[in-house]
């Protein structure tokens, strides 16, 4: 463990030096790291020996774009392509979703590139058949919800879409908000529901029993009064004390006004038509004073394996939050990396857990930590 790092209940097994990343996922013994800035696109890393991670391949992206999100399943890798800055796409920057054959991880092969309008695709999930994406589309303001079928990965096709009323300006709708404030951040599927974060529009729950016609079940928007946008709406795949619960992470950026860092919510969705926030978690020592962006909560691990939830917490590193007693979530372990070389502060951006229970923590500025719960 580097000088300046601190840990409780977690041990560092390995470190992979790489440009900063927006997401890391692991499939088998390969870690897929999606980077924040061009020309760095995606790096595939052999983590069969976590103490000695080894680069297998790297993909690059053109200037004026980034490819900061990645998913892998069934020998396929999907990466986003988004113009930068997203609110003012550079001329000629092509956005969409790259689809690759990674059956041989050391030699990724592009199968096709699915294009869309605006800045492109921001974030998405993938279950091996369907991709649940947040593209910008011509005629809409901001990202919408879309389901793509990749049964034939060379010919992805749209199955269905949903947008928040007001986004479809080409259809005569008028937004009740400013600019791209209400937009799809990313959808997460559980059963026949999509749980969708919608930035300063809060979150929505969609019924996708008929994928061609996603239907709104409910939604909740708490921004304002809370100042940070909603980043992730993550359903817990098992009951907690007889209740169905969703974790909701707000992101510590794009604040409506100066204020304290974002935190993690617990929302009761037992009656999904009436979601009820009932608990929250904030790291110890944080008061109500304004803090700079990239300080607070960012992203819980979307692969939930138990009641201990790993959460990437920007300047506070990795926090393990136990939700076994959902009304009283508590921290049971943490890992704060040393400030990465060339960076001003820690900005832990994403975390994943593999089949061995190992944790992968990517920093927005530089480096991938491989950790073990002890």
Write the pLDDT tens digit of every residue in 203-232.
Answer: 999 999 999 999 999 999 999 999 999 999
The verdict on residue 322 lying in a domain is: yes
CA distances from residue 166 to 58, 177, 207, 214 in whole angstroms, order as listed? 40, 9, 20, 17
Q: What is the mean pLDDT of the chain?
A: 97
How far is the CA of 203 from the CAs of 72, 195, 218, 291, 293, in angstroms?
25, 7, 9, 24, 21
- Measured between alpha carbons, how far is 237 from 309 in angstroms, rounded to an integer? 12
Arithmetic mean of pLDDT, 306-328: 98
pLDDT at 42: 98
User: What percent of the chain is modeled with pLDDT above 90?
Assistant: 97
Count of domains in the chain?
1
Does residue 156 surpass a pLDDT of 90? yes
Return the higher-pLDDT residue of 271 and 288: 271
pLDDT in tens, 31-88: 999 999 999 999 999 999 999 999 999 999 999 999 999 999 999 999 999 999 998 8
What's the CATH number where 244 sits?
2.130.10.10
Domain interval for residue 77: 6-373
Question: For residue 257, which of 180, 316, 200 has the smallest C-alpha distance?
Answer: 200
- Does 300 fall in a domain? yes
Whether 258 is in a domain gets the answer: yes
pLDDT given for residue 126 in this prediction = 98
130 contacts 148 by C-beta, under 8 angstroms: yes
Give me the helices (H) in 78-202, please.
none
Q: Quick check: is 1 in a domain?
A: no
pLDDT at residue 4 greater than cutoff 90 = no
pLDDT value for 3: 63
pTM: 0.97
How far is the C-alpha of 304 from the C-alpha of 301, rounded, in Å?
7
Residues linked to residue 133 through DSSP beta bridges, in sequence order: 124, 146
Q: Is 312 exposed, middle or buried (0-12, 13-18, 19+ CB in 10 A)?
A: buried
In a domain, 361, yes or no: yes
In a domain, 160, yes or no: yes
306 located within any domain: yes
Give 64's DSSP letter.
Answer: T
Alpha carbon separation from 132 to 29, 190, 284 (Å, rounded): 24, 12, 35
pLDDT at 5: 87
């Amino acid at each position: 463990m580097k000088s300046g790092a601190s840990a409780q209940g977690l041990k560092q097994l390995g470190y992979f030096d790489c440009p900063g990343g927006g997401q890391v996922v692991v499939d088998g013994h390969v870690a897929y790291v999606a980077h924040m800035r061009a020309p760095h696109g995606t790096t595939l890393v052999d983590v069969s020996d976590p103490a000695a991670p080894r680069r297998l391949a790297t993909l690059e992206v053109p200037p004026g774009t980034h490819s900061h999100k990645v998913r892998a399943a069934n020998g396929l890798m999907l990466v986003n392509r988004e113009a930068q800055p997203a609110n003012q796409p550079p001329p000629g920057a092509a956005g969409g979703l790259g689809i690759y054959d990674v059956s041989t991880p050391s030699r990724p092969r592009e199968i096709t590139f699915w294009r869309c309008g605006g800045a492109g695709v921001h974030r998405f999930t993938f279950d091996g058949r369907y991709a649940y994406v947040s593209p910008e589309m011509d005629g809409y303001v901001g990202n919408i919800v879309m389901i793509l079928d990749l049964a034939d990965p060379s010919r992805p096709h749209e199955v269905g879409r949903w947008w928040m009323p007001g986004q479809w300006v080409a259809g005569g709708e008028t937004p009740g908000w400013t600019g791209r404030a209400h937009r799809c951040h990313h959808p997460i599927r559980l059963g026949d529901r999509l749980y969708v974060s919608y930035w300063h529009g809060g979150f929505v729950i969609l019924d996708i029993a008929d994928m061609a016609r996603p239907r709104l079940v409910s939604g909740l928007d708490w921004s304002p009064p809370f100042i940070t946008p909603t980043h992730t709406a993550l359903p817990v795949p098992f009951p907690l004390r007889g209740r169905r619960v969703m974790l909701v992470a707000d992101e510590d950026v794009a604040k409506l006004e100066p204020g304290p860092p974002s935190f993690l919510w617990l929302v009761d969705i037992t009656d999904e038509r009436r979601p009820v926030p009932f608990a929250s978690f904030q790291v110890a020592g944080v008061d109500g004073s304004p803090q700079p962006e990239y300080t607070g909560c960012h992203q819980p691990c979307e692969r939930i394996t138990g009641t201990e939830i790993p959460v990437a917490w920007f300047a506070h590193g990795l926090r393990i939050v136990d939700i076994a007693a959902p009304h009283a979530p508590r921290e049971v372990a943490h890992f704060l990396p040393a400030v990465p070389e060339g960076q001003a502060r820690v900005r832990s951006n994403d975390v994943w857990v593999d089949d061995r229970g190992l944790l992968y923590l990517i920093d927005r500025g530089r480096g991938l930590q491989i950790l073990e719960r002890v």
